[in-house]
Structure 1
Amino acid sequence: MNDSRVQASTQKLLELLEELAAFTAPGLGVTRLLYTEEWGRAQTFLQGKMAGFGLKVTTDKVGNVFGRLMGRSPEQKVILTGSHIDTVVNGGKYDGAYGIAAAMIALQDLQKNFGQPQRTLEVVSFCEEEGSRFPLAYWGSGHVTERYDGSEAENCMDADRISLQAAMAAFSFSQSVTDTDGNISKSTGARNDIDAFVELHIEQGIILETTDTQIGVVQGIVGQRRYMVKVSGVANHAGTTPMLMRQDALASAVEMLYVLEGAAKAAGAPLVATSGKLEVYPNTPNVIPGEVLFALDIRHSEEEELECFCAKILSLYHEIAAERGVTLEVIPVLHTLPAPMDTKLSTALEEICLEQGKTYRMMVSGAGHDAQLFAPRCPTAMIFVPSRAGISHSPEEYSSPEQLAAGLEVLTAMLYELAY
């Protein structure tokens, strides 16, 4: 695109990101959790925007929103692009939202400049990816790719003991929004009509910025294991219980987390291990903790290495529990395989960057994304743009207009190659 078109598209993109950021719960940054009021208003807003862009709007049973630009060969499978609408608590305005907004602008620009595509193009706003409200992730893309069938919703609870099923039931997903033909429809969820998926996202890391690179061409996404670990001891008086006669759940958990850090450092890159959540009961200064619940997040780009490390850590945890006289319960929460991106699509992205004169690098994503659920089912590609100081999941999350525009240009060219 020429400079004036790029500037106009970039301005529309920035405005759309600001409009989306306004749909947030009170507090710092952007908080838009699955099936909350602000989440519902954001999805309804996007339906209206997509319809205004001339797209056919549909929703499915979990609240994913789709905007379709019909192709001249409707019998051919769809080219899908987009990202997720939910955020973490006190997150930023770019994570997820950038991929949705840029996809909408790209489809609008392609239609305006080149008319109807040969193959159908579709933008998606996935209802959820983060796992911030309920102890599961990829609820939106997981339905499209058949990772979930819906039965998970009944017993999945948030921190207020509201079930996923109950939270979802509060939304009908049939808002009074129409497409250019005056229609809005719903689908059941699972899709087998997708030929390729392309996701544009901020890097959420520091590699592109520190290497002064405009575009990251993602080669693969790491696999993840998430667990909730419950350590149960005996709550007792802090003053009258001798040190050698205690079954201290917190002291046991602390030893486990210390072992986790040491083992992860010894394993070396690209393995990373984190515990970002800790709950102590009864959480009183003069009572020995009787129960501790903590989270584990372990990631690696190689499945075998990831599996071996997790088995080793959990074995050590059972040893610690036995030595300290506490009981241990490990609850698997998430299991995603490492996901390589499609080599042909990655090569096409390289060629686009070269044609556009943009600097790029091949890289692995240490963060999980909706794209990893599509990778086993259809050709999938991811495009990264830099994040300032590598900060994400924070109100300080930022990518410059120039960086966002570069990603939009690459995405638009990629969708042109695939659909026109």
Structure 2
Amino acid sequence: MNVEHESQWEQDLLEKINWLAQFGKDSENGGITRLLYSETWLDAQLALKKMFEEEGFHTEFDEVGNLFARLNGSDYMNETILTGSHIDTVKNGGLYDGQLGILAGFFALKHLQQTYGQPLRNIEIVSMAEEEGSRFPYIMWGSKNIAGQANPEDVKQIKDANGESFEEAMSKVGFRFKKPRETARDDLKAFIELHIEQGNVLETEEIPIGIVQHIVGQRRYNVEVTGQANHAGTTPMGYRRDAMNAAARMIHGINDLALSYGDPLVATVGEIQAQPGTVNVVPGKVMFSIDARHINGEELQSFTENMTENLQTVADHIGVEIDIDMWMDEPPVPMDPAIVDIIKQQCDKQQLTYKLMHSGAGHDAQVFAQDIPTAMLFVPSRDGISHNPQEYTEPKDLAEGIKALTGALYELGYENELSLNKKGIPKMNETTTIGKESEV
């Protein structure tokens, strides 16, 4: 690809990013709100469908609203290489999270078709219905349906903030639950997702491409500390059962313990509430959240076990009660070494600079990785910003990421041999991600 062609490619990509961002654009705040099964969500999917068809790709929706665009293979019609990401956004989100992966797949397939013609096996782009959990308390609905992991019973009764049920919203835009006989697709042989990093490692190190080797495991907790509310002026310090005092010591201990484990473990207390929440009352109850992540499942378990022991020790010392509810427990997910090697080889061949790294956020790739060989590519995210209208990636970095993706898709779709094995890693614990609105 010559410099002039590459510059045009970057310009075309930016135009497409801004074009797709029109669907759900907030003119006042500058972000995008495109929630599952909303009118703007449907408009975006239909616009993408038209764009794909104009390039000659075969398109179809599945039952739940995942959109597929296919470049048909010539020899191995029962083998499909899949790429793409999710079309939904968080409320007032950015222009790159999710939709970049869809457009990257579009430009990759367009280039491959124009340059090499028909592939040996099918290559598909997917615009997945949902990943974020921003409208309903359920995440990764799109990928879980493709992978055969979604259970309609888990979402039939849930509602959005306006009281509309999941099933009602889905039916309004013309989609339905899959029937029991409609299982996971058996033609999918590999999945590659390109995504912004949602962190500042690549930008800080001035590296345009991250090749993901692991997606972190996550454990999330709600902690409730119960003491005794009392008058702030008349209750001596030594006689208090102060829930805030206990919670503060607990949070300090969580941070110190995480530091002692070192990278890549991270632990975050992101939410805290006190009751009664009055300036002149000793708090009788405090609730706070904990989010702990690591790429090694044993290390994550070790940390959280030590953490809960420490929390109980503090509670006993202060004389308060504590209830610790672990509501999410998802194991780390490794990416497929064979596809990681293919991406590395393509980067080396094209003289693209890359870094092997892990993902500290959850992605649709972790769902697919349980059944088929899967890999992820990252491009830098300015200041590490994500889920925010200020999301931005330099055009030259976008182009580098798409070059790497294109090379990998060529290797997987156009070469005669495809020696990838079926995955056999443990299934995600779906029940722990239901009933909680959560950004992944």
TM-score for both structures, normalised by structure 2:
0.82
Q: Which amino acid aligns with 1:32?
A: R
Q: CA RMSD in A?
A: 3.0
User: 1:153 deviation in Å?
Assistant: 1.3
- From 97, 113, 119, the equivalent of 1:117 is 119
CA–CA distance in structure 2, aligned partners of residues 100 and 124 of structure 1: 7
User: Is the partner of 1:417 in helix, strand or coil?
Assistant: helix
Structure 2 vs 1, CA of residues 357 and 319 (structure 1 numbering), >3 Å: closer, same or farther?
same
Q: Which amino acid aligns with 1:11?
A: Q
Q: 1:268 is matched with which residue? A: 262
Determine whether 1:64 maps to 2:58: no
CA–CA distance in structure 2, aligned partners of residues 17 and 334 of structure 1: 33
Moved more, 24-33 or 93-102: 24-33
User: 1:2 deviation in Å?
Assistant: 3.3
Structure 2 vs 1, CA of residues 204 and 328 (structure 1 numbering), >3 Å: closer, same or farther?
same
Determine whether 1:397 maps to 2:397: no
Whether the 8 Å contact between 2:192 and 2:374 is mirrored in structure 1 is: yes
Q: 1:317 is matched with which residue? A: 311
Determine whether 1:213 maps to 2:207: yes
Q: Which amino acid aligns with 1:173?
A: F
Q: Which amino acid aligns with 1:309?
A: F
Structure 2 vs 1, CA of residues 297 and 35 (structure 1 numbering), >3 Å: closer, same or farther?
farther
User: 1:339 deviation in Å?
Assistant: 1.8
Whether the 8 Å contact between 1:24 and 1:39 is mirrored in structure 2 is: no
Q: Which amino acid aligns with 2:25?
A: T
Structure 2 vs 1, CA of residues 138 and 115 (structure 1 numbering), >3 Å: closer, same or farther?
same
Determine whether 1:348 maps to 2:338: no
User: Is the partner of 1:77 in helix, strand or coil?
Assistant: strand
Q: 2:3 is matched with which residue? A: 3
Q: Provide structure 2 residue ranges, at least 5 long, that are not aligned to the other structure.
A: 415-440
Q: Provide structure 1 residue ranges, at least 5 long, that are not aligned to the other structure.
A: 175-186
Structure 2 vs 1, CA of residues 62 and 335 (structure 1 numbering), >3 Å: closer, same or farther?
farther
Whether the 8 Å contact between 2:211 and 2:356 is mirrored in structure 1 is: yes
Whether the 8 Å contact between 2:228 and 2:243 is mirrored in structure 1 is: yes
Determine whether 1:338 maps to 2:332: yes
- From 214, 223, 232, the equivalent of 1:229 is 223
Number of aligned residues = 408
User: 1:312 deviation in Å?
Assistant: 2.0
Structure 2 vs 1, CA of residues 333 and 86 (structure 1 numbering), >3 Å: closer, same or farther?
farther
User: Is the partner of 1:354 in helix, strand or coil?
Assistant: helix
Whether the 8 Å contact between 1:136 and 1:333 is mirrored in structure 2 is: no
Q: Which amino acid aligns with 1:16?
A: K
Q: Which amino acid aligns with 1:195?
A: K
CA–CA distance in structure 1, aligned partners of residues 285 and 227 of structure 2: 6
Q: Which amino acid aligns with 2:9?
A: S
Whether the 8 Å contact between 2:29 and 2:389 is mirrored in structure 1 is: no
- From 278, 281, 287, the equivalent of 2:272 is 278
CA–CA distance in structure 2, aligned partners of residues 64 and 227 of structure 1: 31
- From 97, 100, 107, the equivalent of 1:98 is 100
Moved more, 187-196 or 6-15: 187-196
Structure 2 vs 1, CA of residues 236 and 30 (structure 1 numbering), >3 Å: closer, same or farther?
farther
Whether the 8 Å contact between 2:274 and 2:285 is mirrored in structure 1 is: yes
Q: 1:12 is matched with which residue? A: 12
User: 1:291 deviation in Å?
Assistant: 4.8
CA–CA distance in structure 1, aligned partners of residues 171 and 275 of structure 2: 32
Whether the 8 Å contact between 1:145 and 1:373 is mirrored in structure 2 is: yes
Whether the 8 Å contact between 1:271 and 1:300 is mirrored in structure 2 is: yes
Q: 2:293 is matched with which residue? A: 299
TM-score for both structures, normalised by structure 1:
0.85
